[in-house]
Structure 1
Amino acid sequence: MLSVAQLPDRGEIRVLDPAAGDGALLEALLKRMPVDTLSRVRVFGYDTDPSAVVRASARLQNAFPDVSILIEEKDFLDHVLSLSADSDLFSDTRSTLMPFDLVIANPPYVRTQIMGTEQAQKLAQSFALTGRVDLYYPFLLGISRVLSEGGVTGIITSNRFMTTKSGQAVRRALLSKFRIMHVWDLGDTKLFDAAVLPAVLLAKGTKQIVDSDVEDIVFSTIYESKENAVDHVSNVMEALTMSDNTVVSISDGRNFLVRHGLLDNGESADGIWRISTASSDQWLATVHKHTWNTFRRVGKIRVGVKSTADKVFVRSDWSALPGGRPELLRPLITRYCARQFKACIPSKTKHIKEIMYPHESTSKGRKAVDLSLYPIAARYLELHRTTLEARSYLIKAGRAWYELWVPQDPAAWSSPKIVFPDISEKPTFWMDTEGGIVNGECYWLQCEREGENDLLWLALAVANSTFIEFFYDHCFNNKLYAGRRRFITQYVEQFPLPDPARKESQIIIDLAKAIHSELPSNAADQKISELNALIWNVFGLNVEEVPR
Structure 2
Amino acid sequence: MDACSVLKKAYCSINKNHAFFREKFNNSYYLGIEENEIEFLNSISENEAGVLSASDKMLSYSVAVMYTAALILQEMAKRKKIEYSKEQTACLLDGFYLIQIAEHPFSDKTVEELEEILLGLLTDGIELKARKKTGSERTPNEIVKYMLDLIQYDKTTARNSSIIDPACGTGTFTNQITKRFIESLNTECEVESVKDALINKKQIKAYDTRPSNVYVTKVGMIFQLMEAGLIVNMNEILEFMNNLPVYCDDFLKSKDKADFIVGNPPYIRLQNISKEDRKFIKENFVSATGRFDIYTCFLEKSDGMLNKNGKMCLITSNKYLTTNYGVGIRKYFSKNHHVKKVVDLFDTKFFGAAVLPAITMCQNNTEDVETQYVGIKTSQMKPDCSLNGADELFDFIENNAGNGKSYVQYKNNTIFEIARSKVVVPSDGKTWNFSSREENTVKDKMDAKRNCMLGEIVDVSVGIKTTADKVFVQPMTKEFVLENNFETQVIYPLIQSFNVDKWKISWGTQKKDRYILYPHKENQDGMKAIPLDEIPNAGAYLEKHDNVLKRREYLLNVTSRKWYECWVPQKLSKFKQKKLVTRDIVSSNSFALDEEGRLCQGNTFFLTKKECKFSQAYADLSEHQYFCFLLGILNSRAMEYYQKMISGCLYAKKYRYTTSNLNRWPIPKIDVGIALEISKYVEKIIREESCRKELEKKIDRAVYNAFQFTDDEILKIEEAI
8 Å Cα contact 1:301-1:489 kept in structure 2: yes
Q: CA RMSD in A?
A: 3.2
Structure having the larger proportion of residues in strand: 1
Tell me which moved more, 332-341 or 454-463: 454-463
Matched with 1:533 is 701
Matched with 2:506 is 344
Q: Distance in 1 between matches of 2:413 and 2:579?
A: 42
- What whole-Å deviation, never above 9, does each CA across 1:360-405 have from its counterpart, x for those lacking one? 3445654444655555434444544565455455453323454333
Q: Quick one: percent identity of the two aligned structures?
A: 24
Counterpart of 1:357, as a letter, is: Y
Matched with 2:164 is 16
Matched with 2:715 is 544
Q: Distance in 2 between matches of 1:379 and 1:191?
A: 50
- Match of 2:631, SS state, is helix
Q: Measure how far apart 1:343 and its partner are.
A: 0.7
- What whole-Å deviation, never above 9, does each CA across 1:295-353 have from its counterpart, x for those lacking one? 1122221111122333332233353454435322111111120201101136641x211
C-alpha change, 1:500 and 1:55, in structure 2 (3 Å) is same
Q: Distance in 1 between matches of 2:441 and 2:252?
A: 47
Q: Measure how far apart 1:111 and its partner are.
A: 1.5
C-alpha change, 1:528 and 1:324, in structure 2 (3 Å) is same
8 Å Cα contact 2:162-2:259 kept in structure 1: yes
Q: Distance in 2 between matches of 1:23 and 1:435?
A: 56
Q: Distance in 2 between matches of 1:289 and 1:178?
A: 27
- What whole-Å deviation, never above 9, does each CA across 1:235-275 have from its counterpart, x for those lacking one? 34245344621222212421121111124544x23111121
Q: Distance in 2 between matches of 1:356 and 1:326?
A: 9
C-alpha change, 1:378 and 1:51, in structure 2 (3 Å) is closer
Q: Does 1:435 align with 2:597?
A: yes
Aligned pairs for 1:353-392 within 5 A: 353-362=514-523, 365-369=526-530, 374-384=535-545, 387-391=548-552
Q: Distance in 2 between matches of 1:216 and 1:33?
A: 31
Q: Measure how far apart 1:533 and its partner are.
A: 3.4
Matched with 2:372 is 218
Structure having the larger proportion of residues in helix: 2
Which residue among 313, 329, 344 is the counterpart of 1:170?
Answer: 329
Matched with 1:76 is 250
- Match of 1:20, SS state, is coil
Q: Distance in 2 between matches of 1:316 and 1:369?
A: 19
Q: Distance in 2 between matches of 1:357 and 1:49?
A: 43
Aligned pairs for 1:36-47 within 5 A: 42-47=203-208
8 Å Cα contact 2:178-2:221 kept in structure 1: no
Counterpart of 2:641, as a letter, is: F
Q: Distance in 1 between matches of 2:166 and 2:525?
A: 55
Q: Distance in 2 between matches of 1:239 and 1:5?
A: 17
Q: Distance in 1 between matches of 2:517 and 2:215?
A: 55
- Match of 2:352, SS state, is coil
Which residue among 409, 419, 439 is the counterpart of 1:259?
Answer: 419
8 Å Cα contact 1:152-1:205 kept in structure 2: yes
- What whole-Å deviation, never above 9, does each CA across 1:407-438 have from its counterpart, x for those lacking one? 21111222111111111122221110000001
Q: Measure how far apart 1:217 and its partner are.
A: 1.3
- Match of 1:192, SS state, is coil
Which residue among 606, 622, 638 is the counterpart of 1:467?
Answer: 638
Q: Distance in 2 between matches of 1:531 and 1:269?
A: 35
- Match of 1:189, SS state, is coil
C-alpha change, 1:179 and 1:386, in structure 2 (3 Å) is closer
Q: Distance in 2 between matches of 1:377 and 1:504?
A: 49
Give TM-score, length-normalised by structure 1: 0.85
- Match of 1:497, SS state, is strand
Tell me which moved more, 302-311 or 329-338: 302-311
Q: Measure how far apart 1:2 and its partner are.
A: 5.6
Q: Does 1:324 align with 2:485?
A: yes
Could you tell me which runs of 5 or more consecutive residues in structure 1 were left unpaired when the two chains were aligned. 81-88, 91-98
Q: Distance in 1 between matches of 2:530 and 2:209?
A: 51
- What whole-Å deviation, never above 9, does each CA across 1:68-126 have from its counterpart, x for those lacking one? 9935242233634xxxxxxxx15xxxxxxxx2111111111111222222212211221
Counterpart of 1:125, as a letter, is: E
Which residue among 397, 403, 410 is the counterpart of 1:240?
Answer: 397
Q: Distance in 2 between matches of 1:217 and 1:282?
A: 18
Counterpart of 1:509, as a letter, is: S
- Match of 2:664, SS state, is coil
- Match of 1:418, SS state, is strand
Q: Measure how far apart 1:493 and its partner are.
A: 1.5
Q: Does 1:230 align with 2:404?
A: no
Q: Distance in 2 between matches of 1:468 and 1:18?
A: 41
C-alpha change, 1:30 and 1:252, in structure 2 (3 Å) is farther
Structure of higher RCO (CA pairs closer than 8 Å, 6+ residues apart): 1
Matched with 1:84 is none
Q: Does 1:457 align with 2:611?
A: no
- What whole-Å deviation, never above 9, does each CA across 1:513-544 have from its counterpart, x for those lacking one? 3323x15x203443224323333333233443
Q: Distance in 1 between matches of 2:533 and 2:207?
A: 61
8 Å Cα contact 1:327-1:376 kept in structure 2: no
Q: Distance in 2 between matches of 1:526 and 1:47?
A: 59
Matched with 1:282 is 441
C-alpha change, 1:378 and 1:296, in structure 2 (3 Å) is same
8 Å Cα contact 2:503-2:685 kept in structure 1: yes
8 Å Cα contact 1:426-1:469 kept in structure 2: yes
8 Å Cα contact 2:465-2:566 kept in structure 1: yes
C-alpha change, 1:15 and 1:199, in structure 2 (3 Å) is same
Which residue among 649, 652, 655 is the counterpart of 1:479?
Answer: 649
Q: Does 1:109 align with 2:267?
A: yes
Which residue among 584, 596, 600 is the counterpart of 1:422?
Answer: 584
Give TM-score, length-normalised by structure 2: 0.66
- Match of 2:633, SS state, is helix
Q: Distance in 1 between matches of 2:161 and 2:532?
A: 72
C-alpha change, 1:57 and 1:313, in structure 2 (3 Å) is closer
Counterpart of 1:331, as a letter, is: P
C-alpha change, 1:291 and 1:469, in structure 2 (3 Å) is same
C-alpha change, 1:481 and 1:323, in structure 2 (3 Å) is closer
- Match of 1:57, SS state, is helix
C-alpha change, 1:261 and 1:345, in structure 2 (3 Å) is same
8 Å Cα contact 1:229-1:247 kept in structure 2: yes
8 Å Cα contact 1:337-1:343 kept in structure 2: yes
8 Å Cα contact 2:580-2:608 kept in structure 1: yes
C-alpha change, 1:338 and 1:239, in structure 2 (3 Å) is farther
Matched with 2:658 is 488
Give the total of aligned pairs.
Answer: 522
C-alpha change, 1:34 and 1:499, in structure 2 (3 Å) is farther
- What whole-Å deviation, never above 9, does each CA across 1:4-25 have from its counterpart, x for those lacking one? 6699999942121121223332
Q: Does 1:154 align with 2:328?
A: no
Q: Does 1:118 align with 2:272?
A: no
C-alpha change, 1:51 and 1:379, in structure 2 (3 Å) is closer
Tell me which moved more, 138-147 or 429-438: 138-147
8 Å Cα contact 2:338-2:364 kept in structure 1: yes
- Match of 1:536, SS state, is helix
Which structure has the bigger radius of gyration? 2
Counterpart of 1:28, as a letter, is: Q
Q: Distance in 2 between matches of 1:313 and 1:366?
A: 17
- Match of 2:504, SS state, is coil
C-alpha change, 1:493 and 1:398, in structure 2 (3 Å) is same
Q: Does 1:26 align with 2:187?
A: no
Matched with 1:95 is none
